């Protein structure tokens, strides 16, 4: 079974631009969660999508948004980029997003904002 894939793997943008990151979950997984990791911080939860609906949202500004398509693929968008948005963005998929469901992580997208 193919694992979780994320594109692109690396991205360089400038302040004020917007960016879209993509995540393809493991086949059959319906839940996709997004996390941000910055130096010195743990994985910070951004949001979770299940069956094309945002089910949970973390404490991030409205510049961070996402969506999920009918094939469970998910995209994350960040508008009006700030220097502090430079981070590793990970997505993780699971069967149903339940609290005992194992999350399978992708390799991440490294975003650098100049």
Partner 1 sequence: ILNVEQSPQSLHVQEGDSTNFTCSFPSSNFYALHWYRWETAKSPEALFVMTLNGDEKKKGRISATLNTKEGYSYLYIKGSQPEDSATYLCASYGGSQGNLIFGKGTKLSVKP
Q: Tell me if 99 contacts partner 1 by CB under 8 A.
A: yes
Q: Tell me if 85 contacts partner 1 by CB under 8 A.
A: no
100: left (phi over 0), alpha (psi -120 to 50) or beta: alpha
Q: Tell me the C-alpha to C-alpha distance, in Å, between residue 110 and each of 35, 56, 102.
A: 12, 23, 23
Q: Tell me if 60 contacts partner 1 by CB under 8 A.
A: no
Instruction: Give the contact letters, 3-42, x = binds to partner 1 (CB under 8 A), - = no.
Output: xx----------------------------x-x----xxx
**CB count, 10 Å around CB of 38?**
13
Among 20, 58, 67, 73, binds partner 1 (CB under 8 A): 58
Asked if 100 and 8 count as a contact pair (C-beta separation under 8 A), the reply is no
Interacting residue ranges for partner 1, rule: CB under 8 A: 3-4, 33, 35, 40-45, 48, 55-56, 58-59, 90, 92, 99-108
């Amino acid at each position: 079974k193919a694992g979780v894939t994320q594109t692109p793997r690396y991205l360089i943008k400038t302040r004020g631009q917007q960016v879209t990151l993509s995540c393809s979950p493991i086949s059959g997984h319906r839940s996709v969660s997004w996390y941000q990791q910055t130096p010195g911080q743990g994985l910070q939860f951004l949001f979770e999508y299940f069956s094309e609906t945002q089910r949970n949202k973390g404490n991030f500004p409205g510049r961070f948004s996402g969506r999920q398509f009918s094939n469970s693929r998910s995209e994350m968008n960040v508008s009006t980029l700030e220097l502090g948005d430079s981070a590793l963005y990970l997505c993780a998929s699971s069967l149903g997003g339940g609290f005992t469901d194992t999350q399978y992580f992708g390799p991440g997208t490294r975003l650098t904002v100049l």
